[in-house]
Structure 1
Amino acid sequence: MLAGMLLCASVLSSGAADAAGVGLSGVFGNRAVIVTDGDRLHTLRVGQATPDGIRLVSVGADSAVVEIGGVRQTLRLGERVVSAASEDTAQRVMIEGDSQGHFVAQGSVNGASMRFLVDTGATAVSMGAADARRAGIDFRQGRQAYSQTANGVAPIWIVKLNSVRLGGIELAGVDAAIHEGDMPVVLLGMSFLNRMQMSREGNRLILERRY
């Protein structure tokens, strides 16, 4: 019965050095199945914690918010950040690719939670208007430009983001293109990635901050 209620995925994410490999295996009601290092499963109700101190804060339809070392982080089914070093160690993030070879991870812009899709073909971080508003960006005060899309030429606004965070890596003053329409994800483009050392390890993308 329980197995039928679980929405299963293989998600690994971490924001603390002593909780590497934390992930979300399933959600049902107000409970979540949290995966910790060594593939150990913990079924938690909201407010409960694993023996190593990972506390379940809230549960959504396909996500869960956990608190690791005093820092809250959103884990999502289908998104796999394998490991993310804390800020007081090497700023390094490993993201596992999905079945289509895409690298999707949870992060934040100006403190607002965002779903990132790594896109080396995008010149800048690109996001839709709704996400920009959630991040408190008055994008129409930015510089207007135009972008060629599948539906033709569309207006965009060029702004600087105060903060872009992925795991233990946080950058300030990142160029971004805000699109007038909404987008399903935020494209993590080269204005962020060009400050990283990028490498591949099997199906994993490794990002390490250079400056």
Structure 2
Amino acid sequence: MSAMDTGQLIYLVMLLAAVVFWFVVANRNSMGKVMQHAALWGLIFLGAIAAVGLWGDIRQTVVPRQAVFSDQGRIEVPRSPDGHYYLTLDVNGHPTRFVVDTGATSIVLLEADARAAGIDPARLNYSGTAMTANGAVRTARVVLDEIGFEEMTDRRVTAFVNEGEMAESLLGMSYLQRFDRLEISGGRLILER
């Protein structure tokens, strides 16, 4: 601890002591109520410290994440609160979040996700069309250098960039069929190779 840190600590302790002294003097006639409020604020403060300290565990429970078991060739994806399964894959080295969509034929990238993966949407030829819940949209065929997780990476995979509005990139059947097993059980999507 440097001399400046020590000086700041002494200043803060003295400031806290002055505030506590003023508080006790100002409320000396109702000390029982003051102690109740002090205990309540102390519990709130301890609860906040506990929440910060346990945030990683809380977050894992509230927003569960995918688990990749590369040595077993298995991926487990928990169902999100909105009922969908979201999978994050590396596309050309960039982590990209997909919604698993068994109703989609192919991998469909948002223009922003394509750009992040090193594909310039402005230079693409949007000559294809796809039928979506929002109607027909124009698409451009691309070949991804690589897509996957850790050791389970596929190379030279065909995908499409969607010119229309979508909330997430789609992971369709052309990619899901690369797995030997696709199972939904107990609120988890299990993919195995």
Shorter-normalised TM range: 0.5 to 0.7
Gaps of 5+ in 2: 1-44
2:104 aligned counterpart, secondary structure? coil
Match of 1:33 among 25, 41, 55: 55
Structure 1 or 2: more helix by fraction:
2
- CA shift in 2, pair 1:150/1:204, >3 Å: closer
The answer on whether the counterparts of 2:126 and 2:138 sit within 8 Å (CA) in structure 1 is: no
Greater strand fraction, Structure 1 or Structure 2? 1
Structure 1 counterpart of 2:78, from 88, 91, 96: 96
Q: Does 1:206 align with 2:160?
A: no
In structure 2, distance between residues paired with 1:114 and 1:107: 5
Please tell me whether the aligned partners of residues 138 and 164 of structure 2 are also in contact (alpha carbons under 8 angstroms): no
- For normalisation by structure 1, the TM-score amounts to 0.58
State the match for 2:177 in structure 1. 194
Q: Distance in 2 between matches of 1:2 and 1:118?
A: 40
% same residue: 35
Higher relative contact order structure (alpha carbons within 8 Å, sequence separation ≥ 6): 2
| CA deviation after TM superposition for structure 1 residue 2, in Å | 6.5
Letter in 2 for 1:122: A
Aligned counterparts, 1:75-154, within 5 A: 78-81=63-66, 83-86=67-70, 89-139=71-121, 140-141=123-124, 144-154=127-137
Deviations along 1:12-48, one digit per CA (max 9) or x if unpaired, are xxxxxxxxxxxxxx8x6xx88334xxxxx8xxxxxxx
Query: Are 1:85 and 1:168, in contact at CA under 8 Å, matched by a contact in 2?
Result: no
* Contact kept? 1:118, 1:187, Cα under 8 Å: yes
Structure whose alpha-carbon radius of gyration is higher: 2
State the aligned residue count: 146
Determine if contact 1:114/1:185 at 8 Å carries over to the other structure.
Answer: no
